[in-house]
């Protein structure tokens, strides 16, 4: 029989625990495929964070370390500084990276740590049951913003890609989305570009992936994808925010 | 190599280099900053790496990452910064990663001050972070002993896959003494079959984690840790005794307090009082044996500390009600003088108000 599709060797056979319709599975697959296609699975150490993706260490088919909440970029720094010839990536959600771990993210970026950060932004805390994140949109209802996020009470959302791209230590930063196939294909290219950036030793690379949370958004999977397109993309514009490759070509 | 005159903080750093530690992640804080500065200069000379982190929190997590690759790695701080490292230390214990963490203790609580203190005893010996755990704690009292114990700390860390704490104080960190580095052969950790360095033909990927969602599985993990702690208690207890054979009263003190108390003990002996000393070198595991061996013979114990009375609780547990235990201490960064310790000994042991 002719093989028409094969699961990437970048992922293990372990069944994921993610909710139906959650886009973590798609993002995992893209990262796994990139690691496989680049032939770097055996030279990679991944860092799992705290949140829904904490068990990603059971899904990525490479050496994995689990970090304390928000500390993944610091843990990745420790690994990469000892093993500069290995590929080191973190996989973090928006609560982990943009709230409790914002200092570690900013300083890893400022130092130009030659690591790749996969930043999954779904504008909510998933694992703990749908609380407000720094990326929660104005007006968005969550368990801890039950009347909708109010700027005067809870402040305004953080645009991490824009913020980090102001730092000279960053080499490649792109925001992508998972709400339809063309965007997913773009997202994979961005992830590939980020790991290529690390391969070339250019410094800090990050791909911010807009993602869904049907369970905590209270929407079905299809509505969730529409919600990304209609609400998240306008607040978090897609595109390349930093591209050292382009600068190198000049 | 003969004796060299060095500052305590620098001795810790050089001893770590001698122990084969090439990676240091730290953050400045008085009174341990010389240690950080020494490493920044020294580690590049041995092909190692010094990195100043953005916080103590980041530093301990960089240590966590580096420890997972199998190298000898350390960080250092002083009390307020050491508190910030507790999260990371708990994770190191949970994930069974070896590392050295130095605490050059200063006066607290809160921001406190930068003077020497021993008021972090509870924190270092009773866990400190969340979860059921202990970390081995080594407490040198001279700069020469720092060398011996820093090397021992790395060995214990590797042997048991555990973070180890070297506990000093502002006095030990800042003072200068002649020291000799006798062991010049560079030590390296043995083979480690649990590291995450990329599989590189090793087959199945490895995972470093402290997460165990299933309660029964986490209990098993805890039982394994408790078994390890029992082994450490069995094998790694260190202490020193002085003139305890004929002692009526035994003073117990560690680190800087022990040095000062020693002079007071000698003065009291010169006055005809039979005073001895038990100096714990490992604070955890606490040396219970010398107390068990003496508690039926002596008239009492005197715990001398630069705290409001912390180690004295472990002394009472070891003595188990068999003899009176009294306490003398100064707090807030005040270092007790040998005269006031002497006066306290004379009052308790000699019934004399000096």
Find the closest chain B residue to A55 by CA distance: B211
CATH, range B4-235: 3.40.50.970
Q: Which of B65, B200, B205 sits opposite A78 (nearest CB)?
A: B65
Chain A CB contacts of B54 under 8 Å are 103-104, 106-107
**Exposure string for B151-174, b = 16+ CB within 10 A, e = fewer:** bbbbbbbbbbbbbbbbbbbbbbbb
Task: State the pLDDT at residue A52.
Answer: 96
Question: What pTM did the predictor assign?
Answer: 0.97
For chain A, what is the mean pLDDT?
Answer: 97
CA distance A228 to A217: 11
- By three-state DSSP, how is residue A211 classified? coil
Q: Which of B23, B199, B201 sits opposite A63 (nearest CB)?
A: B199
**Interface A:B, Cβ pairs < 8 A:** 131
CA distance A228 to A236: 10
Chain B CB contacts of A82 under 8 Å are 23, 49, 65-66, 69, 71, 73
Task: State the pLDDT at residue B1.
Answer: 67
Q: Which of A12, A78, A106 sits opposite B25 (nearest CB)?
A: A78
Task: State the pLDDT at residue B135.
Answer: 98
What parts of chain B have a pLDDT lower than 70? 1, 183-189, 354
Q: Which two tokens stand for residue B134?
A: 């202990």
CA distance A28 to A40: 16
Task: State the pLDDT at residue B187.
Answer: 66
**Which fold is adopted by the domain A24-249?**
Rossmann fold (3.40.50)
Torsion of CA B220, B224, B230, B231, to 10 degrees: 160
Task: State the pLDDT at residue B201.
Answer: 85
Q: Which residues contact A200 (CB under 8 A, 6 or more apart)?
A: none
Find the closest chain A residue to B210 by CA distance: A66
- Tell me the per-residue pLDDT of B171-194, one tens digit each, with 9 for 90 and over: 999 999 999 998 656 566 678 999
Is B198–A63 a contact, with Cβ atoms under 8 angstroms apart? yes
What is the arithmetic mean of pLDDT over A198-210?
A: 98
Is A71–B210 a contact, with Cβ atoms under 8 angstroms apart? no
Quickly tell me which residue has 């402040």 as its tokens: A155
Strand-by-strand arrangement of the B49-52 sheet: B49-52, B23-26, B73-77, B99-105, B163-169, B137-138, B282-284
Every domain of chain B with CATH number 3.40.50.970 lies at: 4-235
pLDDT at A50 over 70: yes
Number of neighbouring beta carbons within 10 Å of residue A23: 25
Relative to beta strand B325-329, strand B176-179 is unpaired
What is the arithmetic mean of pLDDT over A56-85?
A: 98
Is A62 at the interface with chain B, CB within 8 A? Answer: yes
Task: State the pLDDT at residue A72.
Answer: 98
Is B64–A77 a contact, with Cβ atoms under 8 angstroms apart? no
How far is the CA of A209 from the CAs of A187, A220, A231, A236, B164, in angstroms? 7, 20, 14, 10, 39
Chain A CB contacts of B47 under 8 Å are none
Task: State the pLDDT at residue A99.
Answer: 98
Which phi-psi region, left, alpha or beta, contains residue B200 (left: φ > 0; alpha: ψ -120 to 50)? left
pLDDT at A221 over 70: yes
Tally of residues, chain B: 354
Is A74 at the interface with chain B, CB within 8 A? Answer: yes
CATH, range B239-350: 3.40.50.920
- By three-state DSSP, how is residue A19 classified? coil
Q: Give the minimum alpha-carbon distance from B44 to chain A in angstroms, rounded to a whole number.
A: 13
pLDDT at A155 over 90: yes
CA distance A120 to A114: 19
Structural domain boundaries in chain A: 24-249
Is A173 at the interface with chain B, CB within 8 A? Answer: no
Find the closest chain B residue to A43 by CA distance: B198
What is the arithmetic mean of pLDDT over A14-22?
A: 96
- Tell me the per-residue pLDDT of B287-336, one tens digit each, with 9 for 90 and over: 999 999 999 999 999 999 999 999 999 999 999 999 999 999 999 999 99
Chain B CB contacts of A64 under 8 Å are 196, 205-209
Are the CB atoms for B138 and B104 separated by under 8 Å?
no
Task: State the pLDDT at residue A1.
Answer: 85
Is A57–B91 a contact, with Cβ atoms under 8 angstroms apart? no
Is A77 at the interface with chain B, CB within 8 A? Answer: yes
The ipTM estimated for the assembled molecules is: 0.96
Quickly tell me which residue has 């165990």 as its tokens: B212
- By three-state DSSP, how is residue B311 classified? helix
Q: Which residues contact A48 (CB under 8 A, 6 or more apart)?
A: A54, A55, A56, A57, A64, A65, A66, A67, A72, A91, B209
């Amino acid at each position: 029989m002719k093989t028409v599709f094969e699961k990437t060797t970048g992922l293990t056979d372990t069944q994921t625990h993610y909710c139906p319709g959650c886009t973590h599975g798609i993002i995992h697959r893209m990262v796994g495929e990139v690691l496989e296609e680049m032939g770097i699975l055996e030279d990679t150490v991944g860092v799992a964070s705290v949140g829904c993706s904490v068990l990603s260490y059971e899904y990525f088919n490479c050496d994995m370390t689990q970090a304390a909440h928000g500390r993944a970029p610091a843990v990745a720094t420790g690994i990469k500084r000892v093993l500069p010839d290995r590929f080191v990536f973190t996989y973090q959600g928006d609560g982990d990276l943009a709230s409790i771990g914002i200092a570690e993210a900013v300083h890893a970026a400022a130092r130009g740590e030659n690591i790749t950060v996969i930043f999954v932004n779904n504008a909510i805390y998933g694992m703990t049951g749908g609380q407000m994140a720094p990326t929660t949109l104005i007006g968005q209802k969550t368990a801890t913003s039950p009347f909708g996020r109010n700027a005067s009470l809870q402040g305004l959302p953080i645009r991490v890609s824009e913020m980090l791209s102001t730092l000279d230590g960053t080499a490649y930063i792109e925001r992508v989305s998972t709400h339809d196939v063309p965007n997913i294909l773009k997202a994979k290219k961005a992830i590939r570009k980020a790991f290529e950036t690390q391969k070339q030793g250019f410094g800090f690379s990050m791909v911010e992936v807009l993602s869904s949370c049907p369970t905590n958004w209270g929407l079905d999977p299809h509505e969730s994808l529409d919600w990304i397109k209609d609400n998240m993309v306008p607040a978090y514009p897609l595109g390349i925010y930093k591209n050292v490759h382009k600068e190198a070509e000049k | 190599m003969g004796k060299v005159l060095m500052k305590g903080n620098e001795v810790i750093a050089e001893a770590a280099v001698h122990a084969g530690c090439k990676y240091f992640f730290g953050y400045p804080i008085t009174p341990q900053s010389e240690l950080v500065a020494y490493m920044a200069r020294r580690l590049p000379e041995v092909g190692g790496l010094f990195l100043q982190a953005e916080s103590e929190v980041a530093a301990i997590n960089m240590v966590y990452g580096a420890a997972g690759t199998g190298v000898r790695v350390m960080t250092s701080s002083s009390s307020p910064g050491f508190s910030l490292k507790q999260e990371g230390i708990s994770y190191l214990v949970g994930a069974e990663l070896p590392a050295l963490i130095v605490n050059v203790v200063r006066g607290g609580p809160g921001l406190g001050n930068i003077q020497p203190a021993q008021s972090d005893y509870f924190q270092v010996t009773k866990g400190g972070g969340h979860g059921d755990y202990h970390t081995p704690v080594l407490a040198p009292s001279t700069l020469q002993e720092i060398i011996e114990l820093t090397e021992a700390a790395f060995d214990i860390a590797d042997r048991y896959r555990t973070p180890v704490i070297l506990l000093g104080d502002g006095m030990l960190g800042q003072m200068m003494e002649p020291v000799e580095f006798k062991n010049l052969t560079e030590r390296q950790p043995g083979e480690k079959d649990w590291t995450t360095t990329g599989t590189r033909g090793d087959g199945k990927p490895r995972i470093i984690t402290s997460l165990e969602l299933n309660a029964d599985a986490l209990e098993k993990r805890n039982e394994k840790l408790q078994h390890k702690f029992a082994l450490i208690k069995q094998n790694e207890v260190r202490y020193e005794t002085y003139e305890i054979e004929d002692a009526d009263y035994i003073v117990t003190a560690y680190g800087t307090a022990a040095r000062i108390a020693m002079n007071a003990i000698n003065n009291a002996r010169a006055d005809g009082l039979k005073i001895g000393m038990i100096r714990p070198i490992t604070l955890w595991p606490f040396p219970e044996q010398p107390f068990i061996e003496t508690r039926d013979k002596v008239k009492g114990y005197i715990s001398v500390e630069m705290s409001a009375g912390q180690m004295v609780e472990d002394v009472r547990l070891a003595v188990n009600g068999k003899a009176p235990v009294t306490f003398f201490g100064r707090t807030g960064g005040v270092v007790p003088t040998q005269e006031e310790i002497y006066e306290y000994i004379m009052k308790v042991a000699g019934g004399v108000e000096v």
